[in-house]
């Protein structure tokens, strides 16, 4: 169970100082971002949750420093707050959207972003532009689940009016979405939090952040494992029970070939298989590393090429997986991490 005072949430007010961000008729994005960030900080603290602010005044902070602050503090979630813009105003330049990194896991960053966006939409917006993927520095370089929330277009007067009128409600919505991700109950506090709409239900099996929908990455991992180990797991594109069993067989075959483990290949992750599993580190190679890469891919963490080489991309994906599953993010695979990769 996660308790509120165990958490540290990094709140990032975009831009600042000489970097105004977007602007419109004298309105500066950096000011709106800071106003909202300070209110989110207030709401989180009222819920007993610790907060790391990348800035709480009008100062310039580099993108690298923002990510480094969160990484060094081992924050549990990173939320960057922004206002959107465009070169011209069109009928579609309005509404809110939430960005995660290009390869961010849907179960962590994607789910957190969806909860936060849903709660904001509950307050009232012109349009819901959805959870998107983007190559933004602060979501790319942070080690924990991360999102970049665009709170309406600064060039749209109705979005600006909604932002000003519902600032406190939006901050409470962001707080509630964060707490929903960590399975915490949001408490309405008189004088601090506004009356709130009903809780948004979890994403349905048809939603964009579903973890049971077939994906190309999972399908490719299944195919490559079958080819490498001569297995016949169904090419379902889903990390289901049949795939899990086949992956245990793949691990047992890999341990037998790499370490002469002499295991029975029965697809059961039992004490003998776990006891035969060594600590696996950066720069190692072999069938066991390949299985680890495939497991990361099946869990929707991108390890790069499935080539049996424990390189930088595999280590980064592994550390993201470890952080998301409350393991020490040491970039090495021991029994705790291998069990988590199999979901046990």
Q: For the structural domain made of 4-181, what CATH number should be given?
A: 3.40.630.40
Q: Range(s) for CATH 3.40.630.40 in the chain?
A: 4-181
| Residue range 33-61, pLDDT digits in tens | 999 999 999 999 999 999 999 999 999 99
- The Cα-based distances of 276 to 121, 246, 314, 332 in angstroms read 50, 18, 22, 16
| Residue range 165-217, pLDDT digits in tens | 999 999 999 999 999 999 999 998 887 777 655 544 444 444 444 444 456 67
Q: Range(s) for CATH 1.10.101.10 in the chain?
A: 216-341
Model pLDDT, residue 239: 86
Q: What is the mean pLDDT of residues 284-291?
A: 95
Model pLDDT, residue 3: 62
Model pLDDT, residue 214: 52
pTM for the whole thing?
0.61
Q: Residue 146 pairs with which residues in a beta bridge? A: 78
Model pLDDT, residue 134: 86
The more confidently predicted of residues 300 and 48 is 48
- The Cα-based distances of 88 to 19, 26, 151 in angstroms read 21, 16, 18
| Helices marked H in 47-156 | 63-72, 111-123, 137-140
Using alpha carbons, select from 249, 250, 234, 238 the residue that is nearest to residue 298. Answer: 238
- The Cα-based distances of 171 to 79, 95, 167 in angstroms read 12, 16, 6
| Residue range 307-317, pLDDT digits in tens | 999 999 899 88
Architecture of domain 216-341: Orthogonal Bundle (1.10)
d(C-alpha 108, C-alpha 240), whole Å: 18
**Long-range CB contacts (< 8 A, 24+ apart) of 14-19?**
14/80, 14/81, 14/82, 14/148, 15/82, 16/55, 16/58, 16/59, 16/60, 16/61, 17/58, 17/59, 17/60, 17/61, 18/60, 19/60
Model pLDDT, residue 6: 86
């Amino acid at each position: 169970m996660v308790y509120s005072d165990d958490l540290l949430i990094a709140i990032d007010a975009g831009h600042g100082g000489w970097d105004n961000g977007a602007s419109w008729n004298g309105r500066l994005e950096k000011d709106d971002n800071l106003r909202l960030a300070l209110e989110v900080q207030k709401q989180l603290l009222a819920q007993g949750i610790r907060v790391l602010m990348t800035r709480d005044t009008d100062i310039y902070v580099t993108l690298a420093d923002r990510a480094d602050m969160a990484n060094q503090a081992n924050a549990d979630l990173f939320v960057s707050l922004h206002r959107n813009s465009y070169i011209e105003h069109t009928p579609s330049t309005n509404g809110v959207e939430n960005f995660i990194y290009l390869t961010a896991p849907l179960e962590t960053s994607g789910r957190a972003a969806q909860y936060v966006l849903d709660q904001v939409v509950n307050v009232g917006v012109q349009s819901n532009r959805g959870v998107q993927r983007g190559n933004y520095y602060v979501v790319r370089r942070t080690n924990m689940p991360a999102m970049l929330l665009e709170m309406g277009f600064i060039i749209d007067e109705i979005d600006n009016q909604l932002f000003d009128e519902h600032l406190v409600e939006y901050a409470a919505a962001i707080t509630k979405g964060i707490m929903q991700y960590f399975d915490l109950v949001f408490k309405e506090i008189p004088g601090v939090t506004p009356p709130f709409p009903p809780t948004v239900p979890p994403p349905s099996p048809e939603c964009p952040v579903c973890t049971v929908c077939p994906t190309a990455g999972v399908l490719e991992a299944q195919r490559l494992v079958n080819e490498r180990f001569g297995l016949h797991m169904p090419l379902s594109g889903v990390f289901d029970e049949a795939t899990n069993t086949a992956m245990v067989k793949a691990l047992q075959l890999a341990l037998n070939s790499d370490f002469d483990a002499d295991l029975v290949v029965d697809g059961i992750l039992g004490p003998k298989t776990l006891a035969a599993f060594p600590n696996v580190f950066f720069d190692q190679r072999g069938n066991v590393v390949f299985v680890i890469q495939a497991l990361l891919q099946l869990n929707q963490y991108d390890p790069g090429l499935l080539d049996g080489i424990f390189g930088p991309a595999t280590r980064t994906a592994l550390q993201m997986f470890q952080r998301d599953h409350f393991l020490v993010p040491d970039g090495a695979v021991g029994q705790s991490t291998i069990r988590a990769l199999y979901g046990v």
